Amino acid sequence: MATYPQLRQLINLFVALFAGQLLFALVVTYLGSGPTVEPRSVMSFRFLVPAALIGAATIVLILNGQQRQVAPTLQNIEAKLQHYRQRVLIRLAILEGANFLAIIAALLTHHLNYLLLFLIGLALFIYYRPTRAEFARDYEV
C-alpha cells in the first residue's frame, strides 16, 4: 500500500492527543492534594463518569460501524481519505471527552478510582487508533 501523508498526519494527531491525556492524568495524580468538591458533587461523579465512559464507548461503536458501511462506496482515494479522517476524529473526540471527564473527577474529588476509569477509556482510545491496516481493509485500498 502506498504511503499517504494524510494518514501519517492522522496518526501523529492521535499520538499528540494520547500524550496530552496521559500528561494531564499524570499531573492530576502528582497534585493529589488541595481543595475538593462538596460530598454531593462527589456522588454525582460516581455515576456520571462511568455512564459517560459507557455512553462514549457505545456511541463510538455504533457510529464507527455505520461509517464503516459507507466506506466501500466511496470512489476515489481522496474521498476515502477524507471520510476516514472524519471517522477517526469523531471517535477519538468522543472518547477523549469521556477520558477528560474521568481525569477532572479525579482532580476535583481526589479519588484515584476515577483514574482507573480513565485507564479503561485510554485503552478504548488506543483500540480505536488510526492504522494503515484499518484504512486498507475498510476502504478496500
pLDDT at 42: 62
Residue 15 domain-assigned (yes or no): yes
Backbone angles phi, psi at 131, to 5 degrees: -140, 155
The model's confidence at residue 111, banded by pLDDT at 50, 70 and 90, is confident
Residue 19 domain-assigned (yes or no): yes
CA distance 28 to 125: 19
pLDDT at 3: 60
Residue 65 domain-assigned (yes or no): yes
Residue 113 domain-assigned (yes or no): yes
Per the structure, the complete domain to which residue 54 belongs is given by 5-27+39-139
Q: What is the pTM of this model?
A: 0.86
- Minimal CA–CA distance to 93: which of 56, 134, 50, 133? 56
Report how many domains make up the chain.
1
Instruction: Say which residue the cell 461509517 belongs to.
Output: 67
Residue 104 domain-assigned (yes or no): yes
Residue 34 domain-assigned (yes or no): no
Average pLDDT across the chain, whole number = 89
pLDDT at 23: 93
Residue 92 domain-assigned (yes or no): yes
Q: Which residues contact 7 (CB under 8 A, 6 or more apart)?
A: 81, 84, 130, 132, 135
Residues 12, 17, 20, 23: is their CA dihedral positive or negative?
negative
